[in-house]
Amino acid sequence: MVLFLLVIIVAVALGIIGAVAHGLLWLLVIGAVILVLDLVYAGWRWRRSGRTAQR
């Protein structure tokens, strides 16, 4: 969970820097891609942990 939140913070920071700084639009794109990948990973882990073992 800590890693998930850390990656979210990094993605938001990159997005803000990319949006504010002139000519650093690529940072905004990288931040958005990292955010989407992190959310997909979190959803995959959440869905996988919801299963119970059947006997």
Q: Is residue 53 part of a domain?
A: no
In contact, 48 and 35? CB cutoff 8 Å: no
From first CA to last CA, the distance across the chain in angstroms is: 30
Q: Is residue 51 part of a domain?
A: no
Domain ranges, residue 35:
2-45
Q: Is residue 28 part of a domain?
A: yes
What's the pLDDT score for residue 54? 64
Q: Is residue 50 part of a domain?
A: no
For the chain, the domain total comes to: 1
What's the pLDDT score for residue 52? 60
The tens place of each residue's pLDDT in the chain, 55 residues long, gives: 688 888 888 888 888 888 888 778 888 888 888 888 888 988 888 887 766 656 6
Q: Is residue 52 part of a domain?
A: no
Q: What residue has token string 């882990």?
A: 45
Q: What is the DSSP string of the chain?
A: -HHHHHHHHHHHHHHHHHHHSTT-HHHHHHHHHHHHHHHHHHHHHHHHHT-----
